[in-house]
Protein backbone atom coordinates (compact mmCIF):
# COMPACT_ATOMS: atom_id res chain seq x y z
CA UNK A 1 0.00 0.00 0.00
CA UNK A 2 2.76 2.43 0.94
CA UNK A 3 4.60 1.68 -2.31
CA UNK A 4 1.46 2.50 -4.27
CA UNK A 5 1.18 5.82 -2.43
CA UNK A 6 4.74 6.65 -3.52
CA UNK A 7 3.96 5.76 -7.14
CA UNK A 8 0.79 7.86 -7.09
CA UNK A 9 2.66 10.79 -5.60
CA UNK A 10 5.46 10.65 -8.16
CA UNK A 11 3.00 10.23 -11.02
CA UNK A 12 0.92 13.15 -9.76
CA UNK A 13 3.98 15.41 -9.51
CA UNK A 14 5.08 14.43 -13.03
CA UNK A 15 1.66 15.01 -14.55
CA UNK A 16 1.54 18.48 -13.04
CA UNK A 17 5.14 19.45 -13.78
CA UNK A 18 5.35 18.17 -17.35
CA UNK A 19 2.74 20.54 -18.84
CA UNK A 20 4.31 23.44 -16.95
CA UNK A 21 7.72 22.59 -18.37
CA UNK A 22 6.35 22.30 -21.89
CA UNK A 23 4.50 25.60 -21.51
CA UNK A 24 7.67 27.28 -20.23
CA UNK A 25 9.74 26.04 -23.17
CA UNK A 26 7.12 27.27 -25.64
CA UNK A 27 6.90 30.63 -23.91
CA UNK A 28 10.67 31.11 -23.90
CA UNK A 29 10.92 30.14 -27.58
CA UNK A 30 8.20 32.62 -28.47
CA UNK A 31 9.91 35.34 -26.46
CA UNK A 32 13.17 34.81 -28.34
CA UNK A 33 11.40 35.08 -31.69
CA UNK A 34 9.34 38.17 -30.91
CA UNK A 35 11.82 39.82 -28.49
CA UNK A 36 8.98 40.60 -26.13
CA UNK A 37 8.99 40.35 -22.36
CA UNK A 38 7.69 36.95 -21.16
CA UNK A 39 4.15 36.80 -19.99
CA UNK A 40 1.54 34.23 -19.10
CA UNK A 41 -2.23 34.51 -19.15
CA UNK A 42 -3.82 31.10 -19.54
CA UNK A 43 -6.83 29.58 -17.83
CA UNK A 44 -7.45 32.77 -15.89
CA UNK A 45 -3.90 33.11 -14.53
CA UNK A 46 -3.16 36.81 -14.56
CA UNK A 47 0.43 38.03 -14.31
CA UNK A 48 0.64 41.74 -13.59
CA UNK A 49 3.73 43.43 -15.07
CA UNK A 50 6.20 44.70 -14.24
CA UNK A 51 7.50 41.89 -12.08
CA UNK A 52 10.02 42.82 -9.40
CA UNK A 53 12.42 39.93 -8.63
CA UNK A 54 12.67 38.93 -5.01
CA UNK A 55 15.66 40.35 -3.13
CA UNK A 56 17.88 38.47 -0.69
CA UNK A 57 16.28 40.34 2.22
CA UNK A 58 12.79 39.51 1.01
CA UNK A 59 13.76 35.87 0.61
CA UNK A 60 14.92 35.69 4.23
CA UNK A 61 11.75 37.48 5.36
CA UNK A 62 9.63 34.96 3.45
CA UNK A 63 11.40 32.01 5.08
CA UNK A 64 10.98 33.45 8.58
CA UNK A 65 7.35 34.50 8.12
CA UNK A 66 6.40 31.18 6.52
CA UNK A 67 7.87 29.38 9.52
CA UNK A 68 6.71 31.44 12.50
CA UNK A 69 4.00 33.65 10.98
CA UNK A 70 0.52 33.64 12.55
CA UNK A 71 -1.01 31.37 9.90
CA UNK A 72 1.74 28.77 10.22
CA UNK A 73 1.63 28.76 14.02
CA UNK A 74 -2.15 28.36 14.09
CA UNK A 75 -1.97 25.57 11.51
CA UNK A 76 0.67 23.88 13.69
CA UNK A 77 -1.57 24.04 16.76
CA UNK A 78 -4.50 22.54 14.86
CA UNK A 79 -2.41 19.84 13.21
CA UNK A 80 -0.64 18.86 16.42
CA UNK A 81 -3.91 18.98 18.35
CA UNK A 82 -5.61 16.59 15.94
CA UNK A 83 -2.62 14.23 16.00
CA UNK A 84 -2.63 14.31 19.81
CA UNK A 85 -6.35 13.58 19.97
CA UNK A 86 -5.95 10.61 17.64
CA UNK A 87 -2.64 9.65 19.32
CA UNK A 88 -0.60 9.54 16.12
CA UNK A 89 2.14 8.52 16.44
CA UNK A 90 1.32 6.40 19.46
CA UNK A 91 4.89 6.69 20.82
CA UNK A 92 4.21 10.27 21.94
CA UNK A 93 0.98 9.60 23.77
CA UNK A 94 -2.24 11.69 23.99
CA UNK A 95 -0.80 14.13 26.54
CA UNK A 96 0.36 17.73 26.65
CA UNK A 97 3.92 16.43 26.44
CA UNK A 98 2.98 14.51 23.32
CA UNK A 99 1.38 17.63 21.87
CA UNK A 100 4.58 19.61 22.51
CA UNK A 101 6.72 16.95 20.81
CA UNK A 102 4.43 16.81 17.78
CA UNK A 103 4.37 20.59 17.51
CA UNK A 104 8.18 20.81 17.80
CA UNK A 105 8.68 18.14 15.12
CA UNK A 106 6.29 19.91 12.75
CA UNK A 107 7.96 23.29 13.34
CA UNK A 108 11.42 21.81 12.82
CA UNK A 109 10.32 20.15 9.58
CA UNK A 110 8.70 23.31 8.24
CA UNK A 111 11.70 25.48 9.10
CA UNK A 112 13.99 22.98 7.36
CA UNK A 113 11.76 22.87 4.28
CA UNK A 114 11.48 26.65 4.05
CA UNK A 115 15.24 27.04 4.41
CA UNK A 116 15.81 24.47 1.66
CA UNK A 117 13.30 26.15 -0.66
CA UNK A 118 14.72 29.61 -0.05
CA UNK A 119 18.32 28.45 -0.41
CA UNK A 120 17.89 26.31 -3.50
CA UNK A 121 15.60 28.89 -5.09
CA UNK A 122 18.22 31.59 -4.61
CA UNK A 123 20.66 29.57 -6.73
CA UNK A 124 18.50 29.62 -9.87
CA UNK A 125 16.27 32.61 -9.14
CA UNK A 126 13.04 30.91 -8.07
CA UNK A 127 10.62 33.19 -6.22
CA UNK A 128 8.81 31.34 -3.38
CA UNK A 129 6.20 34.07 -2.88
CA UNK A 130 2.60 33.66 -3.98
CA UNK A 131 1.40 36.10 -6.64
CA UNK A 132 -2.32 36.93 -6.32
CA UNK A 133 -4.62 37.38 -9.31
CA UNK A 134 -7.34 39.64 -7.85
CA UNK A 135 -8.58 40.82 -11.26
CA UNK A 136 -9.15 37.32 -12.63
CA UNK A 137 -12.56 35.58 -12.49
CA UNK A 138 -13.22 33.25 -9.56
CA UNK A 139 -12.29 30.11 -11.50
CA UNK A 140 -9.08 31.74 -12.68
CA UNK A 141 -8.15 32.65 -9.12
CA UNK A 142 -8.75 29.08 -7.95
CA UNK A 143 -6.56 27.84 -10.81
CA UNK A 144 -3.94 30.41 -9.82
CA UNK A 145 -3.80 28.99 -6.28
CA UNK A 146 -3.53 25.43 -7.62
CA UNK A 147 -0.98 26.16 -10.32
CA UNK A 148 1.32 28.24 -8.13
CA UNK A 149 1.51 25.33 -5.72
CA UNK A 150 3.67 23.55 -8.28
CA UNK A 151 5.01 26.56 -10.21
CA UNK A 152 6.87 29.74 -9.36
CA UNK A 153 8.11 32.89 -11.00
CA UNK A 154 11.75 33.35 -11.90
CA UNK A 155 14.06 36.33 -12.12
CA UNK A 156 13.05 37.25 -15.67
CA UNK A 157 9.35 36.96 -14.80
CA UNK A 158 8.49 33.69 -16.52
CA UNK A 159 6.54 30.96 -14.72
CA UNK A 160 7.99 27.45 -14.54
CA UNK A 161 7.89 24.41 -12.24
CA UNK A 162 8.92 25.29 -8.67
CA UNK A 163 11.86 22.91 -8.57
CA UNK A 164 13.19 24.18 -5.23
CA UNK A 165 9.78 23.60 -3.62
CA UNK A 166 9.32 20.18 -5.24
CA UNK A 167 12.73 19.21 -3.83
CA UNK A 168 12.36 20.89 -0.43
CA UNK A 169 9.02 19.39 0.61
CA UNK A 170 9.97 15.72 0.09
CA UNK A 171 13.53 16.48 1.20
CA UNK A 172 12.58 17.93 4.56
CA UNK A 173 10.13 15.10 5.18
CA UNK A 174 12.88 12.59 4.48
CA UNK A 175 15.35 14.39 6.75
CA UNK A 176 12.76 14.65 9.54
CA UNK A 177 12.82 10.85 9.85
CA UNK A 178 15.95 11.40 11.97
CA UNK A 179 13.84 12.81 14.83
CA UNK A 180 10.43 11.26 14.19
CA UNK A 181 8.90 8.26 15.93
CA UNK A 182 9.90 4.92 14.33
CA UNK A 183 6.28 4.14 13.38
CA UNK A 184 6.16 7.07 10.92
CA UNK A 185 9.50 6.73 9.16
CA UNK A 186 8.49 4.29 6.43
CA UNK A 187 8.82 5.40 2.76
CA UNK A 188 5.05 5.54 2.44
CA UNK A 189 4.86 7.92 5.42
CA UNK A 190 7.36 10.25 3.74
CA UNK A 191 5.26 10.23 0.55
CA UNK A 192 2.03 10.94 2.45
CA UNK A 193 3.61 13.80 4.42
CA UNK A 194 5.01 15.25 1.18
CA UNK A 195 1.62 15.11 -0.49
CA UNK A 196 0.02 16.73 2.54
CA UNK A 197 2.71 19.39 2.43
CA UNK A 198 1.80 20.25 -1.16
CA UNK A 199 -1.90 20.31 -0.26
CA UNK A 200 -1.09 22.55 2.69
CA UNK A 201 0.76 24.95 0.38
CA UNK A 202 -2.26 24.93 -1.92
CA UNK A 203 -4.52 25.82 1.01
CA UNK A 204 -2.16 28.60 2.06
CA UNK A 205 -2.22 29.97 -1.49
CA UNK A 206 -6.03 29.97 -1.46
CA UNK A 207 -6.00 31.81 1.86
CA UNK A 208 -3.64 34.49 0.56
CA UNK A 209 -5.70 34.77 -2.65
CA UNK A 210 -9.14 35.20 -1.10
CA UNK A 211 -8.69 36.36 2.50
CA UNK A 212 -8.13 40.06 1.61
CA UNK A 213 -11.52 40.06 -0.16
CA UNK A 214 -13.23 38.33 2.77
CA UNK A 215 -11.66 40.74 5.24
CA UNK A 216 -12.73 43.72 3.15
CA UNK A 217 -16.33 42.48 3.07
CA UNK A 218 -16.32 41.90 6.83
CA UNK A 219 -14.99 45.41 7.43
CA UNK A 220 -17.56 46.91 5.07
CA UNK A 221 -20.38 44.99 6.78
CA UNK A 222 -19.28 46.28 10.20
CA UNK A 223 -19.15 49.85 8.94
CA UNK A 224 -22.66 49.58 7.48
CA UNK A 225 -24.17 48.32 10.74
In 15-150, DSSP assigns E strands to 126-127
d(C-alpha 6, C-alpha 173), whole Å? 13
SS3 120: helix
Q: Which residues have a Cβ under 8 Å from the Cβ of 17 and sit 6 or more positions away? A: 150, 161, 166
d(C-alpha 142, C-alpha 196), whole Å? 18
Cβ contact 115:68 at 8 Å: no
Task: Write out the chain's pLDDT in tens, 225 residues.
Answer: 444 444 444 444 544 444 444 444 444 444 444 344 444 444 444 445 578 899 999 999 999 998 888 777 777 888 888 889 988 888 989 999 989 998 898 888 889 999 999 999 999 999 999 999 999 999 999 999 999 999 999 999 899 999 999 999 999 999 888 888 888 888 888 898 898 889 888 988 998 999 899 888 888 877 777
d(C-alpha 104, C-alpha 80), whole Å? 9
Is this structure's pTM higher than 0.75?
no
Amino acid sequence: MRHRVIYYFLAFSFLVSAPLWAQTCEGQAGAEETHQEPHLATKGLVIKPPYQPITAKQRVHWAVKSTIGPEGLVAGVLSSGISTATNEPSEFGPTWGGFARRYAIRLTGISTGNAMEAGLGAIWGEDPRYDRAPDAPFGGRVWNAIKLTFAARYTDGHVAPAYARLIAIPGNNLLSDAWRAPSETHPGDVAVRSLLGLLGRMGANAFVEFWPDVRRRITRHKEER
